[in-house]
Amino acid sequence: MKIVIVGAGAVGSYLAQRFSLEGQDVVVIESDPGRAAQVQASLDALVITGNGASAATLEQAGLSEADLLVAVSSSDAVNVLACTAAAKLGIPRRVARVEDPELKAEVEALGVDLVIDPGEAAARDLLVLANTGHVAEMVEFADGGLVMVGAYLESGSEAAGATLADLRREMEGWHWLIAAVVRKGETLIGRGATTLEAGDHVLLIAEADRVKAPFDLLGLTEQPADQVFVLGGTRLAGMTAEMLSERGVHTTLIDGDPSRCRRFAEQLPHVVVVCGDPTDPGVLKEAGVTEGDAVLALTGWDGENLLSCLVAKALGAGEVICRFNDTDLVGLLGGSGIDATVSSRLSAANEILRFIRRGVIHSAITIPGSDAEALELEVSPNSPAVGKALSELQLPRSVIVGGVQRNGKAFVPRGNTVLEAGDHVIVIALPEGIAAVEALSG
């Protein structure tokens, strides 16, 4: 598949990297020469320095031969114009990053198939995380019958030091499994001999009505938040505070800039706005952070977010969630006390991946701090997997099947589970295993 990406910012460069690792034919257009050179040095892709809205630049990129255009530059106008050009050329799928509310209402007529707003995508993810105490990820698959849960393993957890085979022997029934472990930035597909360590980012797949056992094992709770503190004066902070307050959550926003605080106080009448340094223990304590169910650090600076979370945790706050622009840092957070992370880049990428993989693949989720994806796909009647047990499929070690939905019933499979046409299969795969997953669908 040939993919043209306009904009090599956080979202564009991340997608270019993922698609390149999958072996796709990727062309990136970036207007900033310095950024273009940086991306060219780090990716196996053609990078063109130019204006993504220019017909000449798009022609140089070979847009007429592309299967997909992803326009995610910082300019709404450039993104929409690029999609309009792609529509005229008959490019099958076109994605545009658009943040202007008025422009969003008009884009369908301008040739855009999917509109993505990274801030909105991240805010929606934050709403889920704030209501699942100390859970790093919570994603539903199979019409809600299966869930993927991610969490950092604490040093006091009874699972630390155990192998996955040990845990399997101790559990009653076969209702969940640990599918992967992210350790110091490296993703390990779960095998029986895999030994869990304190600080591991554990990814498990469970039947939705049987999550209590793995939650107890990992020391997790599923408790809706009643009081949330949002730290920072960014667009994401404002959007998240507004969404929380609209859902009846008592929300406090803390930011150090007086003019931003006045603006938020006017725009968000149901949010308590505190003007003060969100990294200052005195400010946080006086605001009542120790009584909060969750603290969301959403400034524009990774270091400030990390410090705010650590201070809040030291003061006795509940769940702490940290925004990171540099997602490479996420894989190093095990044992830090940070419960969950959010990235506008990853949130946007997830929505784009779900869109472009639709068809036999029903859902696609990237995992923070990891190069793995969680995918839900449908097994077609002509798939070579039909009639075979999972143990007979000879899937690469970069792939694990963690769940199956059949005739409306979702379950965690065993090695002797035989796949049938129409099954929905949930897998976790590294980039080198994506082709095998797509072949599995037939």
CATH number at residue 302: 3.40.50.720
Structural domain harbouring 416: 350-441
- Looking at residue 23, what is its pLDDT? 84
Q: Is the pLDDT of residue 279 over 90?
A: yes
Which SS3 state, helix, strand or coil, does residue 151 take? strand
- Looking at residue 367, what is its pLDDT? 79
- Chosen domain end from 116, 147, 182: 116
- Looking at residue 306, what is its pLDDT? 93
Residue 307 contacts residue 337 (beta carbons within 8 Å): no
**pTM reported for the whole predicted model:** 0.77
Same domain, yes or no: 10 and 47: yes
Same domain, yes or no: 415 and 364: yes
- Looking at residue 321, what is its pLDDT? 93
User: Which tokens is 355 given?
Assistant: 């869109």
Same domain, yes or no: 21 and 66: yes
Give 22's pLDDT tier (boundaries 50, 70, 90).
Answer: confident
The stretches of 3-100 forming alpha helices (DSSP H) are: 10-21, 33-42, 55-60, 76-88
Give 73's pLDDT tier (boundaries 50, 70, 90).
Answer: very high
- Looking at residue 362, what is its pLDDT? 74
Q: Is the pLDDT of residue 373 over 90?
A: no
Average pLDDT on 239-259 reads 96
- 358 in a structural domain: yes
Cα 291 off chain centre by: 28
Average pLDDT on 32-41 reads 94
CATH code of the domain in which 364 resides: 3.30.70.1450
Q: Is the pLDDT of residue 30 over 70?
A: yes
Same domain, yes or no: 279 and 318: yes
Lowest mean pLDDT among 16-25, 107-116, 169-178, 183-192: 169-178
Angle at 214 between CA 208 and CA 215, to 5 degrees: 85
To which H or E segment does residue 240 belong? Answer: helix 235-246
Give dist(CA 439, CA 380) in Å, integer.
10
Q: Which one is predicted more confidently, 427 or 213?
A: 427
Give 172's pLDDT tier (boundaries 50, 70, 90).
Answer: low
* Structural domain count, the chain: 3
Pairing of strands 201-207, 272-275: unpaired
Give the tens place of pLDDT for each residue, 300-349.
999 999 999 999 999 999 889 999 887 676 666 655 778 888 888 888 88
- Looking at residue 360, what is its pLDDT? 60
- Looking at residue 75, what is its pLDDT? 96
